[in-house]
Every structure is written in C-alpha cells, then in structure tokens.
Amino acid sequence: MDNNKTIGMVETQYYTFAYPPNELELESGGRLGPVTLAYETYGALNESRSNAILVLHALTGDAHAAGFHEVDKDPGWWDNMIGPGKAFDTHKYFVICSNVIGGCKGSTGPSSIDPKTGRPYGLTFPIITIKDMVNAQRYLIDHLGINKLISVTGGSMGGMQALQWVVSYPERVSSVIPIATTANHSPQQIAFNEVGRQAIMADPNWNDGDYYGKELPAKGLSVARMVGHITYMSDVSMSEKFGRRFKDIKQPFKFSPEFEVEGYLQYRGDNFIKRFDPNSYLYITKAIDYFDFTNGKGLHELLKGIKSRFLIIAFKSDWLYPAYQSQEIARACKLAGVETVYCELNSTYGHDAFLVEVEEQSHLVKHFLERTTRGFSQA
C-alpha cells in the first residue's frame, strides 16, 4: 500500500431535496426543507451500482474526506485512508462522504438562509439528531441510484451515524465499520460538550444565536474548541508533543501562553473560528448527546436479526470514547448473533488515533472489505 498516492483534485457537489410541502420530517416532530447536502465522491460507481461505501465524518468534519481542492492545499481529513491502493481503495470502491445537516460546510444548517424569512436560521433552526442526519443521507444515496452499500463507516460521531444506518436501513447496509465511538454518551461525555456550549453562549457576541453579519462569538467558540481538543489527545501524546516546555519567548508569572501546550491550544482555537459556525457547534454537539443507539431497548435485542457484518475498532489510549464502549457494542453483536470482529489497537494518540493510525487500520479494513464484497457479490 502506498499512502503517498492521492486521488488528486476533487470538487464538492450539492444535492437539494425535501422541497415544501415534502419537507424532511425530523425526530423532534419538526420539518425542514428544502435541504441541501454537500458531498464528495471518489472512485467510480460500477455498472451494477454495487461498489459504494459511505464514509461519515466526526463533529467538526465535512464532506472533503480525500484528495485536494484547487483553492485549498490541505488534503481531505481521511486522505490517508481513501484513495488508490489505500484502505478504501478507489480502484475498487465508489466512496461517498457527505456533510451532515446542521453543519456549516455546504449542508443546510443554522447559518443557512431560511427561505421563509430571507435571513439565516440561527436558533430558529430545528433541533436535529443523528437519526435525522442519516435520514437525509438516505435521500442522497437514493439520488445516486444506489440500492445497497457495501459498507458504512466513520470515526467518533461518524461511527454513531454508521450505527444508526444499521438500525434505520438494515436492508441497505452490507457491513458497518464503527471506529472510536459509542452506542450512547456517558454523563462525562455530555458534560464536556455542555462546557463547550456554555462557553459559546456566554460570549456576549453570541446574541442568542443572532450574530450573522455582526461580530462572531469567536472567543467562546475558541474556548469550546480548546476544551474539545484536550479530549482528542492522550496524556502520553501531550507529554511527548509538549512536555512542560516553555515557548521561546517566556514571560514569567504572567497570564500569557507561556507553555507550548497553551500556545498550541490557542492556535487550534483561533484557527477553528475561521472555518466553523458557533451555532452549528451547538446543534451538532446536542445531536451527539441525544444519540442513543439502544433507543431504550437492550442493545443485543436491538441488533437481533441484523444481517450486516461488523468491524469495530477502538484504541487503548482513547479516553474520550474509551474502549469499553466499543466492547459493549461488540458483546451485544455477539449475543445477537451478528457476525462481528472487534479490534483494540495500541496507540498513544488518544481519540485522534482514528485519523492518524493508518497501517493497522488499513490492514483490518482492507481484509474486512474483501470478505464483505465476496458475500456481497453473492447476495
């Protein structure tokens, strides 16, 4: 496998649906329409339209999972996993990645224009859930003329969406690869998200979500990102990357970022405000907190009768989504008689491992997909 190979230049595409009076019905009881999804595709769809894989992004991700944009020098967020000869081999598979509803990278979200008012939705945007995101994606898959997906995969929030696909549309998913994720949030995980939301809402520029065309609640969003980023790393990775080192310019006994780790977090926060909408952060983190794969049932009861094969991947140093949460899903699959492979990988990168640990993940995914496609071609 050559991880230096890339699929080259790609373009984001857009699909709009759910025009009134046929709006998208939401779990909250609300309705949303029209709805636009930003998405990208990599590789070619075969004649029978049977080689498609849906890749789903994490909290602050977007549709740009692989390749390069002409105006952006950075590759897609999973470029090391998607492309010729890589884990999701674009010589074999047609890979799709869409930005979720509620987002701010081309899909309909709180920063989008409400056709009824001609102004950004802001807090009039309806509450959305992981299930709503998946229902919207199903419209996109229908639009592309794909009846059944070889696999649905993603890490973190992307893994939640992958799990929801299995429950919402079991007949349309041959396999699922949830990575570094959970069936539902623990109180601690909800607590971290709430701190981020409160940081945004405490910013005087937030203005009850009506800040469009005005000063952004930048400081609040920056703090939210800083808090989040701490949870994405591990104690070991932070020690190796920063230690207790001071920056080159030390100002002793002042409240400036003297330690390297302080400067790094501020850098991350300052960059985040350039690319993400604060209201989208509120809505998406709430959707994650609401997510409950069990839907009030026993997990193994929910999975009974599921024909999709599972590859569940977790990382030992991930303390945001600790391995025990993936183990619970794997145990429930086994109890339900679902064909399941569980792999727990050593890594010092913490939760971010699913984005950077390429070699072992690629080996697992490639082998799993090869076995899946053998069964898929016979289905």
Handedness of CA 54, 139, 74, 211 (dihedral sign): negative
Catalytic site positions: 156, 318, 351
- CA–CA dist 77, 275 (Å, integer): 14
User: Rg of the Cα trace of the chain?
Assistant: 21
CA atoms 280, 54, 12, 180: torsion sign: positive
Residues 6+ apart with CB under 8 A from 238: 261
